[in-house]
Chain A
Amino acid sequence: MRLRRKKTKPAKTGPSARLPKVKTQELMPPEGVPLRFEISSLGTRFGAQIIDIIITVIALIALVIFLFASGIIPSLAILSVGVLLFFFIRVPYYALSEMIWNGQTIGKRICRIRVVSCTGRSLTPHQIVARNLMREMEVFAPGTAMLVATQGFWEGLTAFLWIAGVLLVPIFSKRNQRLGDIIANTSVNTGRMSYRCLPNCCKTKRQIKHQRRIREGSKR
C-alpha cells in the first residue's frame, strides 16, 4: 500500500498532504484570551497507556521477586499477592504521577501528551482521581477479561459488549474523551509544541522542518 501510494501521488505537496489534520480545542483561561490546544490522537494515548502498563508490571515483577527471595510470602500465595500488589501499584501510580507531573504519567511524558482540565484552570485532585478511577473499568477490566479465558456464551458476549462500548466512546467523542475524561471534564492534549520557535531563529532540524511546513501552508 505504502509503495503504491508514493508512486501514484508524488505531486501532492500541498499543506493538506504535509500537515496532518489535528483536532483542536479552545480553553478559556481566566485571562480571557482563548488558547488553542491540539487534542492527542487515540493511537498516541494507546501507546502511552501501554508504556505505563509495562512500567507498572516491571515494578510489580521486581517487588514480587524481592518478596519471594526474602521468603516473606510462601510460594503458594505468589499469584494472589501478585494480583494484590499490581492493584496497589497501579491505582496510586496514575493518580500520583498525574498530580506531581502536571497531568503526565511517565508514558504520557514519553509520548508527549498531557491531561488538561477543560475548565481553563489547573487540574484539581478530584479530576485526576475521578478519571483514573474510571480507568479501572475502561482499561483494566476489559484487559483482564481478554487475558482470562471466558467460559460460556453470555460471559463472552458481556465482555465483548463492554469492550466495544468502552472503545466507542472516545472514538465518537468530539474531544477524544473517554468516560473518565467526561466525568472529570478533562481532555488529553499534545504537549508537542516545544519545537515551535520564532521565525528565523530555528536551531534544531525539527524546528526548521516545522517552519517550512507553515510557510508552504500559508503560501497556498
Chain B
Amino acid sequence: MSETATLRSARFRQEREADWARLGKIVAQVERGGVRSLNFSDARDLAQLYRQSLASLSVAREISLDKALQEYLEALCCRAYLAVYAPQESVRGTVKRFLIFDDPLWYNTFVPGGLQGGRGISSSREDLLEVIYGSGDEGLGQLSAFASYLFSHNTRIAIFAFALGIAVCAPSFLLCAYQGLILGAFFALHVDRGIGLDLFVATAGGFRLGLAVLFPGPLTRRAALRKEGRDAAKLAIMAAIMLVAAAIIEGFGRQLVTDLTARIAIGWGIGLLWLIYFMRAGHAEKPLS
C-alpha cells in the first residue's frame, strides 16, 4: 500500500521536476536582474511554467504528497507569482500619466507662465516667516537657502495634512484652520494665494480619509479607507508639486517683482490657474484628439 503511494508520489515528481527546476532558474534570474534580463525563450516560458507549477501545487495540496515537496512548490509558486506580477509601469510613464491627465498642450503653456509671471506668489510667505523666525534678508545665498527651508516646511505640512486626516479629520481641519489664521492675519499685506490653496488641496485629501473613517457607509471601515485613499494620495502629491512650483518661484524670482499690486495680481492669477487646472482634471476620460 505504502509502496504504491511512494511510487505515485515519485511519478508525480519525476514527470514535472524538470519544469520546476527550469522555473526556479528563471525566477532566480528575475530576482537578481529583473524581467528585462531574461532572454526571449525564458521570458516566453515564464508565464507558462508558472501556470503549470500552480497546477502541480493544487494537485499536491489535494492529494497531500510529501510535505517537503509541497513546501517547495508553495515557495516556488510564490516566487514565480512575484516575478510574473511585478509592477508593470515604468517610473517615467507613471509620472507622465500623473501630470498630464488632461490636455498636455495646456500643461506646457501653463508652466512657463507660472515661472515667468509668478515671482510674487510666495514672497508674502517669506515675509511672514521672517517675522516669525526673526531672520533678516541679507544676502541672496542665505535667503534662497531660507526659502528652501520654508518650502520643506510647507510641503511637510501639506503631506501631514493628508496623513493626519486619517485620524478622524480633526487634526487635518485644525491644521488647515491654523494656517488659515496666520494667512488671514497677513492677508492685507501679502496675498498668499498659492500656498493657501496647496494646503486646502492636501487637507481635502486628508479630509476624505477622515470622513471615510467616520462614515464608512455601506463598506467596511477598511475598504472605505482604501477607496478614499486613491484620491487622497493624488491630491497630496498634487499639493506637493504645487509647493515645488511655489519654491521655484520663491527661490528665483523674488527680488524681481517688488511692486505690491503686481504681486497681488500675480498671486491671484496663479491661484486662478491652479483652480482651472483642478477643474479640468476630472474630464480625463475623453480621448485626446
Are A and B bound to each other? yes
Q: Which residues of A contact B (CB under 8 A)?
A: 27, 29, 31, 33, 35-37, 73-74, 76-77, 80-81, 83-84, 87-88, 96, 99-100, 102-103, 114, 116-117, 121-126, 128-130, 133-134, 136-138, 141, 165, 179, 182-185, 191, 193-194, 196-199, 211, 214-215, 217-218
Chain B interface SS verdict (over half): helix
- Tally inter-chain residue pairs, CB-CB below 8 A: 154
Given known contacts A84-B151, A123-B87, A183-B225, is B75 in contact with A137 (CB within 8 Å)?
Answer: no
Report the count of interface residues on B (CB-CB < 8 A): 62
Given known contacts A33-B58, A102-B82, A134-B163, is B149 in contact with A83 (CB within 8 Å)?
Answer: yes
* Complex-state Cα separation, A194 to B68, whole angstroms: 14
* Complex-state Cα separation, A96 to B89, whole angstroms: 12
* Complex-state Cα separation, A87 to B151, whole angstroms: 11
B173 to chain A, nearest CB (A): 16
22 contacts between A and B (CB under 8 A): A27-B81, A36-B74, A77-B146, A77-B149, A80-B145, A84-B148, A99-B87, A99-B94, A100-B91, A102-B86, A122-B86, A130-B233, A133-B162, A136-B163, A137-B166, A141-B160, A184-B229, A193-B75, A198-B21, A199-B68, A199-B69, A215-B67
Chain B's closest residue to A162 (CB) is B167
Contact, CB under 8 Å: A87 / B156: yes
Pairs A-B, 4 closest by C-beta atoms: A77-B145, A137-B163, A80-B149, A193-B75
The residue that A179 contacts in the complex, of B77, B142, B166, with Cβ under 8 A, is B166
Contact, CB under 8 Å: A133 / B236: yes
Asked if B106 CB lies within 8 Å of chain A CBs, one says no
Contact, CB under 8 Å: A196 / B159: no
Chain B 73-99 per-residue mask, 1 if CB under 8 angstroms from chain A, else 0: 011111101100111110100100000
* Complex-state Cα separation, A202 to B280, whole angstroms: 60
Further pairs besides A128-B87, A214-B71: 16, Cβ < 8 Å: A29-B81, A33-B55, A37-B78, A73-B145, A77-B145, A80-B145, A81-B148, A102-B86, A117-B85, A126-B230, A133-B236, A137-B163, A193-B74, A194-B75, A211-B68, A217-B67
Chain A residues near B152 (CB-CB < 8 A): 80, 83-84, 87-88
Chain A residues near B89 (CB-CB < 8 A): 99, 124-125
Chain B residues near A179 (CB-CB < 8 A): 166
Chain B's closest residue to A215 (CB) is B68
A7 to chain B, nearest CB (A): 32
B191 to chain A, nearest CB (A): 25
Contact, CB under 8 Å: B149 / A122: no
* Complex-state Cα separation, A138 to B21, whole angstroms: 42
Chain A residues near B87 (CB-CB < 8 A): 99, 102-103, 122-125, 128
The residue that B51 contacts in the complex, of A27, A31, A134, A193, with Cβ under 8 A, is A31
Contact, CB under 8 Å: A33 / B226: no
Chain B's closest residue to A71 (CB) is B141
* Complex-state Cα separation, A99 to B67, whole angstroms: 35
The residue that A198 contacts in the complex, of B69, B77, B163, with Cβ under 8 A, is B69
Contact, CB under 8 Å: A196 / B141: no
